[in-house]
Amino acid sequence: MGMIPVYRTDSGANGVLAMSPSCRSDIYHRITAEIVSAIENGAGDWRMPWHHDGNSMARPKNVVSDKGYRGINILALWVAAYRSGYMSGVWGTYRQWSQLGCQVRRGEKATTVVFWKEMRHGDRGDTEPDGADRSDSDRCEDRVRFLARGYYVFNAKQVDGYDAHDIPRLPESERIAHADTFFAALGIPIVTGGDRACYCPDIDTVFMPPFECFLDTASYYSCLGHETAHATGAKHRLDRDLTGRFGSETYAMDEVIVELTSSFIMADLGIAHEPRPEHAAYIASWLNALKNNPRAIFTAASQAQAAADWMHAQQPDANVAPA
């Protein structure tokens, strides 16, 4: 990615920069363009960057904190890894790699991720992003602002000297049992039978075809993740707008949200999956929404993260959600 305008930067080696509103807008457009391009380039066989293989494209994590990235950053890093063929989900800033004794190779291009920090009155940063101090009369004790910072990160495949540890993987039978336990803990009514997968908001119930009707195990759990993600939008859960009719912008947006949620959850459960053919029905609306509104994918990713967080919070061990 090219350089982006900043109003304040830390040490360049730290890989962090604070962004003005215009810079945030630039990042919205930049990441949206990358995702739209990825969708268009993969539209032939419907393989998108966030339809990962359960291994190299699992939820990206930071090399130092070992914490998973969240929201739009997951998509940005999945797109970058897909585009460049990186077979690793480990990322870090230039300084973080240096601290580990690793060296980012000359000429490697960084990927931008965004971190939002909540700022309250009295915190460092009372100066507005445009650099102008506001008068006391303009300030409020409980005013909350968010400071966006962009970080330049590099994939493990872009550095020398990194000794990657093998990630232990559960046998498929154990992963299936874990997935069954995960979805059962959601408390969402699920009825098995018939030949259609859907969520009915009026009776708050997910309908799923029998397991044997699916092409493979991953397809079943991907579909179940998709439909239960719809259910997270119920008024007594996360209260999303589920009133949109098929083909409407509201309908398309919730389809984007729940498919991203399913991808996040499949990554967390370590289950490989492929996109389902019926996605073709709304992919055109998705593309148009992204092109016309660069913030759309950020909104969708944020709500998908909220849905995934809600799912994880229902588990007996609520610490299973990535930080």
Domain extents for the chain? 8-160, 172-318
pLDDT grade, residue 12 (50/70/90)?
A: very low
**pLDDT mean over 186-203:** 95
pLDDT of res. 293: 85
**pLDDT mean over 294-309:** 92
**In the predicted structure, residue 57 carries a pLDDT above the cut 70:** no
* Proportion of the chain above pLDDT 70, given as a percent: 73
pLDDT of res. 55: 55
Least confident range of 9-18, 73-82, 248-257: 9-18
**pLDDT mean over 303-317:** 94
Q: Which of 20-34, 224-238, 263-277, 281-295 has the highest mean pLDDT?
A: 224-238
Closest C-alpha to 116, from 83, 70, 82:
70
